[in-house]
């Protein structure tokens, strides 16, 4: 059972001068997460996570009476989502409407999600669509807060609402981690009770990750190294064997380029991931490099297409340490110009296996 996380009120965040995306995210969190905190406190007495319902299968016994029990062979590939399916998911910070359509788990949201997934299903019947929610559960803050981590966790009762909603509607749930200054492995471990569930996976956004505590979310650009991410990849790769569930998906958001080939790969102004070539290649986890940049002006589609070609197709060919690409569309922001259609998204090469929609 998870301990009940301690919430703290969120400060109003100011615009970030360095990037269009951070200006939007900071403004959004500053105006909406205060409401999220109040709602979370109101429901904090709700039930905790209940992984036992969907937990590990019980080992049987074989052989003659009196023989030692033999655990059945375990195959993490059995029931794995990738590569058999394509994932279409809605993104959000809970109760923060401007962040994405999954801000509240409702029947109306589910209708829209199913309609969006159906648009991709008809384009590639060979990969049936699995629907999901990409839920930010550790939220970046501009102020250090009580723990000095520049981040806070969504309360357990709110997360449980999403767990129950996804279980009831056969959805995947991605726990999206935005670490700030917190210890990444400690943060991942906090959410392990949820990750025992077969339909719960992980997303990581390095944009809000400052492992050397050399920047503040919303004020500075981040630069992370493979050595910061590889322990997380390893820990998630071990979970299927530990919990007797199918192989996990790990979405790694990429908003800016990587430093491979740069004179100074640690310059946050030029690179988000310093040495992408050194990311751990562990076949026990399905690593998805997910292009997370934001459009909304003439030429944005061409730019995002080029980024996908460089960060997914190009890096996949160069480094061979991941096998799946992902892509994000922003309904509200990108509609200022024109939304990419599912046909256009599917024309990217390789076709994205995880497609998410925010606002």
Per-residue pLDDT at 73 = 80
**Backbone Cα Rg of the chain:** 20
pLDDT digits (tens, 9 = 90+) for 144-191: 999 999 999 999 999 999 999 999 999 999 999 999 999 999 999 999
| pLDDT mean over 16-37 | 46
Query: How does DSSP assign 111-180, residue by residue?
Result: HHHHHHHHHHHTT-TTS-EEEEEEEEEEEE-SS-TTTTSSEEEPPHHHHHHHHHHHHHTT-EEEEEE--B
Task: Decide if pLDDT at 81 tops 70.
Answer: yes
Task: Decide if pLDDT at 316 tops 60.
Answer: yes
Task: Please say whether the beta carbons of 192 and 162 come within 8 A.
Answer: no
Task: Please say whether the beta carbons of 54 and 167 come within 8 A.
Answer: yes
Task: Decide if pLDDT at 9 tops 70.
Answer: no
Q: Where are the beta strands (DSSP E) in the chain?
A: 86-92, 129-140, 151-153, 172-177, 200-204, 248-254, 285-291, 324-330, 354-358
Tokens of 7: 């919430």
Task: Decide if pLDDT at 223 tops 90.
Answer: yes
* Residue 74 confidence class, pLDDT cut points 50, 70, 90: confident
Average pLDDT, the chain: 86
State how far Cα 220 lies from the chain centre.
21
């Amino acid at each position: 059972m998870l301990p009940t996380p301690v919430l703290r009120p969120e400060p109003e965040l100011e615009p970030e001068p360095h990037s269009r995306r951070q200006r939007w995210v900071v403004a959004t969190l500053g105006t909406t997460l205060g409401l999220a905190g109040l709602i979370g406190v109101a429901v904090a007495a709700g039930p905790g996570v209940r992984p036992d319902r969907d937990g590990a299968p019980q080992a049987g016994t074989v052989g003659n009476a009196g023989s030692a029990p033999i655990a059945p062979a375990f195959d993490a590939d059995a029931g794995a989502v990738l590569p058999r399916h394509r994932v279409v998911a809605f993104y959000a910070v809970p109760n923060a409407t401007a962040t994405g359509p999954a801000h509240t788990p409702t029947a109306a949201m589910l209708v829209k999600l199913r309609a969006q997934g159906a648009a991709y299903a008809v384009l590639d019947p060979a990969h049936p669509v699995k629907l999901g929610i990409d839920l930010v559960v550790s939220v970046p803050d501009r102020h250090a807060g009580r723990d000095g981590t520049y981040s806070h966790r969504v309360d357990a009762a709110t997360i449980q609402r999403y767990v129950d909603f996804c279980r009831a509607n056969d959805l995947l749930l991605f726990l999206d981690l935005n670490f700030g200054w917190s210890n990444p492995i400690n943060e991942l471990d906090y959410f392990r009770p949820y990750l025992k569930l077969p339909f719960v996976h992980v997303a990581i956004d390095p944009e809000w990750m400052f492992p050397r505590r050399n920047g503040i979310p919303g004020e500075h650009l981040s630069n992370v190294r493979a050595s910061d991410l590889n322990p997380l990849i390893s820990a998630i790769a071990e979970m299927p064997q530990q919990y007797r569930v199918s192989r996990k998906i790990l979405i790694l958001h990429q908003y800016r380029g990587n430093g491979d080939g740069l004179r100074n790969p640690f310059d946050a102004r030029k690179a988000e991931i310093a040495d992408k070539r050194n990311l751990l290649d562990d076949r026990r986890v399905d690593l998805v490099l997910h292009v997370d940049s934001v459009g909304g002006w003439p030429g944005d589609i061409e730019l995002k297409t080029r980024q996908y070609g460089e960060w997914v197709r190009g890096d996949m060919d160069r480094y061979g340490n991941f096998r799946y690409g992902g892509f994000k569309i922003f309904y509200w922001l990108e509609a200022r110009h024109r939304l990419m259609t599912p046909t256009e998204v599917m024309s990217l090469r390789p076709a994205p296996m995880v497609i998410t929609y925010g606002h």
